[in-house]
A and B are shown apart, each in its own frame.
Chain A
Amino acid sequence: RKEVEQDPGPFNVPEGATVAFNCTYSNSASQSFFWYRQDCRKEPKLLMSVYSSGNEDGRFTAQLNRASQYISLLIRDSKLSDSATYLCVVPGGSGNTGKLIFGQGTTLQVKP
């Protein structure tokens, strides 16, 4: 099993739609999780941090399911500007070594 795994998509949705991405991780000892957004040919930028069961910021909600070892990102009322790749990050990886492990990313295309 990969340390961090995401459905690469692409997810093609119309403006205003609600879309959800999942990310599974293998290290049950991980305590924190992050979602990053990456635009084409740019560096990743932090979108949300998840330290407990979940986090909400405007149209974005992240939820953590420790029992099943996955985190999800929900985007409501999608905008054209939400089109990007969303990266799931789990610090520590296997054995909690302190390294940051990225999923391969999920691509979202929001259409007019």
Chain B
Amino acid sequence: DGGITQSPKYLFRKEGQNVTLSCEQNLNHDAMYWYRQDPGQGLRLIYYSQIVNDFQKGDIAEGYSVSREKKESFPLTVTSAQKNPTAFYLCASSMPPIKEAFFGQGTRLTVV
């Protein structure tokens, strides 16, 4: 089946550690996105990529890094510089510039 797969579904991180969230899609979409959602809040854009080997910062990129070496993959690293990383992270893909986006099931990251 075509879709977007995020892993892991739940992730626990110790303070000071870097962690990487996986996002893979087989929809042949050019654009991929990472969003963060805090309880009771909307989605905030972290990074997005419209093409392989290119990506742009979103509204809250500080403390995060990404790579886009393959069309299918857009991993997100939450670094120790991110002071409050506990949140629900959502990955999406679309065919820009005007097509709808499809989401993975999300990763819940908790700092312990």
Contact = CB atoms under 8 A, between A and B. Distances in A.
Interface of A: 31-32, 34, 41-46, 49, 51, 87, 89, 91-92, 96-105
B11 to A, nearest CB: 15
The main secondary structure of chain A at its interface with chain B is loop
Given A43-B106, A44-B43, A98 B100 contact: no
A87 B42 contact: yes
Interface of B: 31, 33, 35, 41-43, 45, 48, 50, 56, 58, 88, 90, 92, 94, 96-106
Name which of B92, B103, B105 has the most chain A CB atoms within 10 A of its CB.
Answer: B103
A7 to B, nearest CB: 12
A43 B105 contact: yes
Contacts of B43: 44, 87, 102
B97 A100 contact: no
Contact of B35 (A49, A92, A102): A102
B1 to A, nearest CB: 15
Given A44-B103, A104-B42, 10 more contacts: A43-B103, A44-B43, A44-B90, A89-B100, A96-B97, A98-B48, A100-B33, A100-B92, A104-B41, A105-B42
A91 B42 contact: no
25 contacts: A31-B98, A32-B98, A41-B88, A42-B105, A43-B90, A43-B103, A44-B43, A44-B103, A46-B101, A46-B102, A49-B100, A87-B43, A89-B100, A92-B97, A97-B56, A98-B31, A98-B48, A98-B50, A99-B33, A99-B45, A99-B58, A100-B94, A102-B42, A102-B45, A104-B41
B103 A45 contact: yes
Contacts of B92: 100
